[in-house]
Structure 1
């Protein structure tokens, strides 16, 4: 009789654990929806931004407010500053300097670029966690942050081809 008590007790405990696992594993109401279904749709950021603008504008139009743009250095006949949070691809020819507004971010996609700054401080390379000083190479595909205006990048001397730079924020070409 004692031979059967131990296996029976183990079987009862295992069955109880399995049953309680099934009971405790049932999802709560609403937690069992699958993303991307009609119950829980996946939407894009642009759609959400558009809906927010509609709500802020009283339900009308889908226009977004734009920030007025001004050149960083009004004495230089340069392209006006492009102030925006969207990313733009900018082509920079040899001999030109791409000057960033405060808070702008650059990513050099093609070409050989060097840092341009008139003061002793540099540009933050957020990818490597370094400070790049005037004349140092700006690595390709690295996120460069410009904390103050008046700093930028230019085509490395001796290069015949220009640069393609992804820019977020304001900038001026001089």
Structure 2
């Protein structure tokens, strides 16, 4: 009789653990990546400002490595394609990377609750991203630069193994002259 109780207890615990694992996986998959820019029309002489936010849309908090960088090893990969789908390589490659010693420092990890986000921005000359005038599709892909086994945090951590999240795409037009005129707030 005792062995039957033990078996039943193990079955119940296994089901509970599986439900928790499925629940955590669903929570983590509720991350969205959004990219914005000040304008949709730019000139080759303009600066372009891109902002990216990674937001938790799920019901449970998640933990992320908080030092987001540009490039495969930094977490965010900028993607650019012409209107015809041809991929464009920017003038210089993004090469941010994590410093291994930061993986063991709690201050580099951030808990993101529902509807909260972390983000990063960059300002570049238009010519550093786009080779010439035309219409372009621009987006980013986010993948944590930290493998699960290297993370200081184990519970609810968004790791490299969690996969890539693709942002919305911006459709930007680049012309010859200056085009983006953003008004600044004045007091």
TM-score of the pair, normalised by structure 1? 0.27
Ranked by relative contact order (alpha carbons within 8 Å, sequence separation 6 or more), the top structure is 2
TM-score of the pair, normalised by structure 2? 0.26
Q: Which has the larger radius of gyration?
A: 1
